[in-house]
Amino acid sequence: MSRSFGRRAAVGGLGAFALLALSGQAYAVTCPSTGTSIYGAGGSSQETLIAQYAAQLANQSPPIWLVYNDTGSACVGYQDLVTPTTINSGLYWDTTAKALATCTLTANAPVTFAVMGNSPAQCPQTSSLADGYGEFLGSVQSIDFVVPITQSATQQSLSTEAAYYIWGFGAVGPNTVAPWNVPANIYTRSSSSFLTIFLGLETHLPVARIAQPYPPVGDAAVPANPTQVKTTLLTESGLNALNGTSGQESGIGFLSAEIADTYRSQIRVLAYQHTGQSCGYWPDSTKDAFDKVNVRTGQYWLWSPVHYFAAVTAGSDATKVANIADPATKSLIGWITGDVAQPAGVDVFNAEVRASTVPKCAMQAWRDGDLSAPYSYAPPASCSCKFDFATGTANKPATCHTCTADGDCSTGHCRNVGPAVGALDSDAGSPDAGAGNVGYCEVN
């Protein structure tokens, strides 16, 4: 099966969720009660990634149900964990529909993990990670600027300065940037969204300015920013609705790659030109690729690892996965970080790649803080070659090929011998099933 089939499967899952969400959860069912349930909260930007994990875990025997509440946003989800807070509904993986769906709990349940794209220090009224909680990093996601797919191809790129103009002035007044000159067609997110926080960090605009609601709040002293404040999925559907209309040229928004890549048939990702950069680059090698080459090298600026949070046992080292208090949550985060061996049927690499994120082992640059300066990074056990195969990278290095033993590789490292990554194209949640075991020649 093809890579594109796998992507369509992911789209179907999210599309089903979108329908349920837009219907006001009128069709929510009771959350599954068999097996084990893990309750999380966080941003909608990571929904695609959560869906991939949820699908794999739901197919375990006995099943493990991830119930994820994203009714707030990144920082709200974090607060759900550290406050602590209970939830009474969430998204779960419907194994029949093979899609995310909303379910209600028969009893309120405490959140045991949180997910967001930024560190806690970026959240309102939060200076650092709460005592008694651990922060664990997962795969890397990019933040993408997107426009309707039918917008003129003359618009291929956006600069930091242009983003400042667009979301700072909201197409009101003389500082309007053509063709993005219709306030209602400029999409933004809430002030506690990871995407808004990062756009604020990048442009030095206050998040409250970026997230100004429409219609204007009427502050006479401040020009209004009458843009659309929407969730990730409503941003996408709003931009898609502009396709083929007179508003298609003026539509623009920003999404995580998890969402943007899922809907590439409806929205187009722009190249991004960070301040001081002489050209704009896509997260991928080209506008049509999915290889995340420029994220991996650090040439695309807007990226961050996914942050996972969980309570640790009292007095323990909060940096160790082994000290996570809730056993099921410890397993989940341990599988993601590699600290706990994955059981059969759980393939974190598969989930991360299908969600358009980059496992750390495929990165060649890293950073230690939110949008901080990148530095060269050599993973201790690279998976770059496997990632290239999984994403169909057109320009793999000559040394990157399949293998069955170290001697097959000029690099001397034949790694990840197992089912071929062609199994990435299988339905979400099913285990890898390649024609035979292969490995990939990695640099180390």
Partner 1 sequence: MLSSKTLRLAGLALVSGLFVPAAFTVACSSDNASNPVPTVPTYAVDATTSPPDSSGPQGDDGPSTGDDATDAADAHVLIPEDAQACTLARLPATGAPASDAGCWNAADPNCRAQTNPEFLNQCAGTGVTCARFDNARLPGYDGGALPPFN
Q: Tell which positions 52-111 bind partner 1, by CB under 8 A.
A: 69, 71-72, 76, 79-80, 83, 85-89, 108, 111
Kindly give, in sequence order, each residue whose CB lies less than 8 Å from that of residue 53, ignoring residues fewer than 6 positions away: 66, 332, 336, 348, 351
Nearer to partner 1, 1 or 394 (CB): 394
| Residues 370-389 contacting partner 1, CB under 8 A | 373-374, 376-378, 382, 384-385, 388
Which amino acid makes up residue 148? P
**Smallest distance from partner 1 to CB 305, Å:** 17
Tokens at 55, concatenated: 């699908």
Q: Which of 29, 124, 327, 404 binds partner 1 (CB under 8 A)?
A: 124
Q: Which helix (H) or strand (E) holds 256?
A: strand 253-256
| 235 lines the binding site for partner 1 (CB under 8 A) | no
| Residues 304-363 contacting partner 1, CB under 8 A | none
Nearer to partner 1, 59 or 364 (CB): 364
**CB neighbourhood size of 95 (10 A):** 15
Q: What residues form DSSP beta bridges with 365?
A: 376
| 411 lines the binding site for partner 1 (CB under 8 A) | yes
Q: What DSSP assignment string belongs to 6-61?
A: HHHHHHHHHHHHHHHHHTTTTT-EEPP-SSEEEEEEE-GGGHHHHHHHHHHHHTSS
Based on its alpha-carbon atoms, the radius of gyration of the chain, rounded to whole angstroms, reads: 21
**Smallest distance from partner 1 to CB 239, Å:** 19
Q: Are the CB atoms for 38 and 46 separated by under 8 Å?
A: no
DSSP secondary structure letter of residue 100: E
| 443 lines the binding site for partner 1 (CB under 8 A) | yes
Extended beta strands in 117-219, E state: 133-148, 157-159, 187-188
| 364 lines the binding site for partner 1 (CB under 8 A) | yes
Q: Are the CB atoms for 38 and 64 separated by under 8 Å?
A: yes
Q: Which of 152, 395, 404, 437 binds partner 1 (CB under 8 A)?
A: 395
Nearer to partner 1, 319 or 395 (CB): 395
Q: Which helix (H) or strand (E) holds 103?
A: strand 99-110
| 223 lines the binding site for partner 1 (CB under 8 A) | yes
Query: CA 349 to CA 352: how far, in whole Å?
Result: 5
| 206 lines the binding site for partner 1 (CB under 8 A) | yes
**Smallest distance from partner 1 to CB 385, Å:** 6
Nearer to partner 1, 297 or 316 (CB): 297
Candidates 203-211, 257-265, 304-312, 416-424; binding stretch for partner 1 (CB under 8 A) = 203-211
Q: Which of 19, 161, 245, 317 binds partner 1 (CB under 8 A)?
A: 161
| 221 lines the binding site for partner 1 (CB under 8 A) | yes
| Residues 169-198 contacting partner 1, CB under 8 A | 169, 174-178, 191-192
Query: CA 188 to CA 229: how far, in whole Å?
Result: 5
Q: Which of 205, 257, 324, 332 binds partner 1 (CB under 8 A)?
A: 205
Q: Are the CB atoms for 32 and 60 separated by under 8 Å?
A: no
Nearer to partner 1, 244 or 397 (CB): 397
Query: CA 114 to CA 308: how far, in whole Å?
Result: 6
Helix (H, G, I), strand (E, B) or coil at 267: strand
**Smallest distance from partner 1 to CB 280, Å:** 5
Nearer to partner 1, 4 or 275 (CB): 275
Site string for partner 1, 258-297 (x = CB under 8 A): -------------x-xxxxxxxxxx--xxx-----xx--x
| 208 lines the binding site for partner 1 (CB under 8 A) | yes
**Smallest distance from partner 1 to CB 383, Å:** 9
**Smallest distance from partner 1 to CB 253, Å:** 17
Tokens at 196, concatenated: 């808004």
C-alpha to C-alpha distances, 439 to 255, 307, 390, 406, nearest whole angstrom: 34, 29, 12, 9
| 392 lines the binding site for partner 1 (CB under 8 A) | no
| 162 lines the binding site for partner 1 (CB under 8 A) | yes
Of the candidates 68, 72, 67, 104, the residue with the CA atom closest to the CA atom of residue 89 = 104
Q: Which of 217, 322, 381, 417 binds partner 1 (CB under 8 A)?
A: 217
